[in-house]
Chain A
Amino acid sequence: MLDIENLSASYGEAQVLRGVSMSAGKGEVVTLCGRNGAGKTTLLRCVMGLLPYTGRVSLDGNDLARKASYQRARLGVGWVPDDRGTYATLTVAESLSLRVSKDGWPLQRVYDAFPNLYARRASAATKLSGGEQQMLALARVLRMGSRLMLCDEPTEGLSPLLVEQVGAILRQAKEHGVTVLLVEQNLHFAATVADKYYLLAEGEVRPTTPDDKELLTYLGV
């Protein structure tokens, strides 16, 4: 499904990622762990085509090098950014009407899964709570029917109940064959959804497990 080979990226002279290689199969949830500033978001942005990189990112064997981010989205890559990436002035209903795919979740299913969004459907994104904005960002990607979801800390700042809800959504997506690349610092949450783990440290990545002592020490858990 997703293969990343020898990917390197930098901001100016500061190299953030050094020869990162990892993979995620169809219907797998792959968690990427690492400290703040390790380059997790940078890696997701490279996969989405929002940052230049060297190396190879391929989806179902097709190299995405020459694909702009909007073309990657059309190929089935969905992005749930860490800043929630909502549109400040569009209402919830307007946001959910953007880029809808027949493979995506129908509006009613989204509202059934996120009753808060239904109640706030006429509100602008800036009027939503942090949790509701997170729900909206996730719901937007579900509407697109993405085959690969890049989720950047989707549980950050959410109440335990909402975290559980996000977990349920990701498990549902996984059951439908959607691949999820999950950046997550909350290992307890990751353990409820993930199939594989990678640790990103010093710009390099290696496979790990949630009980890996080195990982726990590194994250200070």
Chain B
Amino acid sequence: MKLKWILLPAAIVFALWLPFGLYPAVAVEILCWALFAVSIDLLLGYVGLLSFGHAAFWGASAYATGLIAINWDWPFPLAVLSGAVVATLIAVPVGYLAVKRTGIYFAMVTLAFAQMVYVIANKWSSLTGGENGLQSVPRTITDNFYFYYAALPIVVLGLLLAWRIVHSPFGRVLVAIRDNPSRARALGYPVHRYKLLAFMLSAFLAGLGGGLFAMGHRFVSLDVLHWTTSGKAVIVVVLGGIGTLWGGVLGAAIITRLEDFLSFSGFDQIGLVTGGIFVLAVLLFRAGVWGTLAKIPARLSRR
């Protein structure tokens, strides 16, 4: 029997059990970060582009979702979807300029744009609340326990979308572009256009996560747009395993649970611990937790 037929039901049971085993607000946070991490992995793992500015899409969607909920009182799935669309629209000009560069230059361009979005959100306080953020985002499902189950289908759909993308002919072209861009061009693929589309899809997924994050917390602070948020998402993906897709979900669960544990135990230098874990992951198991675990069955069968 293939391993995936054991892992899939196990993952479903685990996802359904999570708010029983954890503080429900933490479970909701894991869901949001899982989507965010998968959005980063879609770009980093499958197109080879390290975005250091994805907080712009996560945060812009959080603000958009919060504003829609406050001003128009739309049902939360619609507000979250609208937030993700706003994030995707912002990704068009950013991606158009960024995908023409690769490596460190791509990372710097995305970081610069994200900082611009951060400054705009900070200065435009009449809309965003500035440093105070958006307070009291309304939510009809007030209990986090039930909100988790309302948010879960959106996250599952987002994850399925990511899975479908990487397993489609489009996803194969993305991998071909990552492996050998000039050869992909010579095969007739407009590389920049493909990268831009992947960037927009990634921003959409990050936006879904960001919108849920706003609804989950019922407030939006400027932190959602800060560059450290982008950095944390990259750490989550590296820890989970780059190019594994589900590694991001695992990384999100580990980091979020760890941060929750540390903050409750009174340890206030959380960054030291997550940074240390990041260093260990890079030095000792570059394939990340998921990538390392995935290799075990093959190693066992070789013995």
Contacts and interface: CB of A to CB of B under 8 A. Distances in A.
A78 B186 CA distance: 7
A8 interface: no
A50 B186 contact: yes
A62 interface: no
Given A50-B186, A69-B185, A87 B175 contact: yes
Given A98-B172, A98-B173, A69 B179 contact: no
Interface stretch (A88-96, A158-166, A202-210): A88-96
B187 A50 contact: no
Contact of B188 (A86, A94, A144): A144
B101 interface: no
B172 A73 contact: no
Interface residues of B, number: 17
Interface string B188-229: 111100000000000000000000000000000000000000
Contact of A140 (B173, B175, B187, B189): B187
> Interface residues of B: mostly helix, strand, loop or mixed?
helix
Nearest to B194: A70
A23 B179 CA distance: 33
A77 B187 CA distance: 9
A39 B196 CA distance: 34
Instruction: Give the contact-size bracket for chain A.
Output: 20 to 34
B179 A73 contact: no
A90 B190 contact: no
Contacts of A95: 176
A74 B187 CA distance: 8
A81 interface: yes
Contact of A99 (B178, B179, B188): B188
A87 B189 CA distance: 14
A29 B169 CA distance: 33
B188 A88 contact: no
Contact of B190 (A49, A68, A94): A68
B126 interface: no
B172 A90 contact: yes
Contact of B179 (A70, A77, A88, A140): A88
A135 to B, nearest CB: 16
B57 to A, nearest CB: 27
B185 A73 contact: yes
Most buried by A among B172, B175, B185, B188: B188
A87 B169 contact: no
Contacts of B169: 97-98
Interface in A58-114: 68-71, 73-74, 77-79, 81, 85-90, 94-95, 97-99
A48 interface: yes
Contact of A50 (B178, B182, B190): B182
A89 B187 contact: no
Given A50-B182, A81-B183, A97-B169, A90 B188 contact: no
B161 to A, nearest CB: 21
Interface string A99-138: 1000000000000000000000000000000000000000
B140 interface: no
A98 B179 contact: no
Given A68-B190, A97-B169, A50 B185 contact: yes
Q: Which 9 A-B pairs have the closest CB atoms?
A: A73-B188, A85-B183, A87-B179, A79-B186, A69-B185, A99-B187, A74-B188, A88-B179, A70-B190
18 contacts: A49-B185, A50-B182, A50-B185, A50-B186, A70-B185, A70-B191, A77-B186, A81-B183, A81-B186, A85-B180, A85-B183, A86-B183, A87-B183, A88-B179, A89-B175, A94-B172, A98-B172, A99-B189
Given A70-B186, A73-B188, A90-B175, 18 more contacts: A50-B186, A68-B190, A69-B182, A70-B188, A73-B187, A74-B188, A81-B186, A85-B183, A87-B183, A89-B175, A89-B179, A90-B172, A97-B169, A98-B169, A98-B173, A98-B176, A98-B187, A144-B187
Interface of A: 48-50, 68-71, 73-74, 77-79, 81, 85-90, 94-95, 97-99, 140, 144
